[in-house]
Structure 1
Amino acid sequence: MEKKRLPNKTFTPIGQVLESLIDQFRSDNHGGILHLVHVWKKVVGPPISDNATPFAVKGSLLLVHVSSSAWLHQLQFLKVELLEKLNQGLKNERIEEIKFKIGPM
């Protein structure tokens, strides 16, 4: 017996579906981690954004993965400035703490 498929003219790209799922599970922040990643790249610019990327949000804590211990150490010195820039770029959310960890970029 042959199954008939209903015509579906509106396909959703798999990248969009995965992005939405990742955003839901990696953040309990209403803006989502993907929004933070975009704002992060814009406000910190290269080379910081090339070596450090937001990974997760829990409340007002942002976990940022960095590429090396040297970058981790350097970003500790810039933490206050990064927090100010990030919060200026965010509209509704507020990040109060950043933790840096060596991890996958």
Structure 2
Amino acid sequence: MDTNSEELREVLDRLVERYAWQPAKSLWILESSWRSVAGDTIANRTRILGYKPKILTIAVTSSSWAQQLQYFIPDLITKINQELHTDFVTDIHTRVNLRAFRTAQPHILIGERTYRFGKLRPKTQDLGVLLDHVKHNYHEAVAKWLQDNYHLCPHCGSPVLKPYEYCSVCETALITTKKS
């Protein structure tokens, strides 16, 4: 691995740790390896829709497939947690959602393209340039958040709308801690 790759990995790992983005990182890893974790049969009929603490929501192609999937959920939870080396998921919810299975459709705007349900690719393969873009975009985003009715969460530093004191992740953690 070259120096730029190591530097980029270190920056991203520090950001994940500093801003408590581990669930987002784990979800990204899971989405990237969904076919190997779920297997071809399940992966062809499911898409990851979202994640709330310990609950993964996946789209299915039909209600009958959602019912069949119930038999595979315990094994799927085990495989997911093994892949992520943590107890990331304790339950999986299914939802029939055919839109999640559409292929990416280009929408042409003036001078640019946007895609729905598509993956973004970096504009460059040079990791040094990519690292500079990440740093620049991060600082630019923070300045914009602070300007546009956001403040930083006092616990993790994530952007929060001004009426709220903590971000939703820290708020949930604090509520859970108070209940215990």
Indicate whether the TM-score tops 0.5: yes
Aligned to 2:64: 70
Whether 1:56 aligns to 2:50 is: yes
Give the TM-score of the pair, scaled to structure 1: 0.65
Q: Residues of 1 paired with 2:91 and 2:22: CA distance?
A: 15
Tell me, yes or no, if the aligned pair for 1:28 and 1:57 is still in contact at 8 Å: no
Q: How does 1:21-100 map to 2 (within 5 A)?
A: 29-92=23-86, 94-100=88-94
Unaligned runs of 5+ in 2: 1-20, 102-180
Deviation at 1:28, TM superposition (A): 8.0
1:39-92 deviations in Å (ceiling 9; x for gaps): 322111111101012111111110011111121011111110110111111134
Partners of 2:41 and 2:71 in 1: CA distance = 15
User: 1 CA distance for matches of 2:47 and 2:27?
Assistant: 10
Are residues 79 and 92 of structure 1, via their aligned partners in 2, closer, same or farther at CA, if it must alter by over 3 Å?
closer
Cα distance in structure 1, aligned partners of 2:60 and 2:24: 24
- Conserved? CA contact 2:26–2:84, under 8 Å: no
SS in 1 for 2:48: strand
Q: Is the 8 A contact 2:60 2:66 kept in 1?
A: yes
Structure 1 residues 91 and 39: CA distance shift in structure 2, 3 A: farther
Alpha carbons of structure 1 residues 45 and 92: separation in structure 2 relative to 1, 3 Å = same
Structure number with greater Rg is 2
RMSD of aligned residue pairs (Cα, Å): 2.0
Q: Is the 8 A contact 1:28 1:59 kept in 2?
A: no
Q: Hey, what's the Cα distance between the residues in 1 that align with 2:90 and 2:75?
A: 12
Partner in structure 2 of residue 17 of structure 1: none
Q: Which has the higher helix share?
A: 2
Alpha-carbon deviation of 1:34?
2.7
With a CA cutoff of 8 Å and minimum separation of 6, indicate the structure with the bigger relative contact order.
Answer: 1
Task: Pick which of 38-47 and 52-61 moved more.
Answer: 38-47
